[in-house]
Amino acid sequence: MLIATSNFRVLRRPFESAQYASADYTKRLHDHAVRLSMSAPGNPYDNAKAESFFKTLKKEEVNANTYSSIDEARRNIGAFLETTYNRQRLHSALAYKPPTEFEADLSIPRSD
């Protein structure tokens, strides 16, 4: 499990699976102040954002390229996520801003 540092609260929404309810997993989340949120069984709408993300990843990176090795795939997908998806691609749910810009705007004190 990857635990990243951030100035913002983290919400973990796993897909339906018993492994995400295990004592070890939930303790690790709790230890890192990550709030666990489970979807209701049989409710596909809870995973809409994850489905949208994976559709974008497959269409814009994975299916658009041929990788010669697993390492190359990991590097290219990581680069896509870091540069294109997080820094360049506009997200409608984030006021048509890339995630890095949206997060930076949240950090700026308002002068109202």
Q: Structure pTM?
A: 0.56
Residues for the chain: how many in total?
112
pLDDT tens-digit profile of 48-107? 777 888 999 999 999 999 999 999 999 999 999 999 999 999 988 899 999 999 999 987
pLDDT digits (tens, 9 = 90+) for 29-54: 888 888 777 667 667 676 777 788 89
Quickly tell me which residue has 């820094």 as its tokens: 87
SS (H, E, C) the chain: CCCCCCCCCEEECCCCCHHHHCHHHHHHHHHCCEEECCCCCCCHHHHHHHHHHHHHHHHHHHCCCCCCCHHHHHHHHHHHHHHHHHHHCCEHHHCCECHHHHHHHHHCCCCC
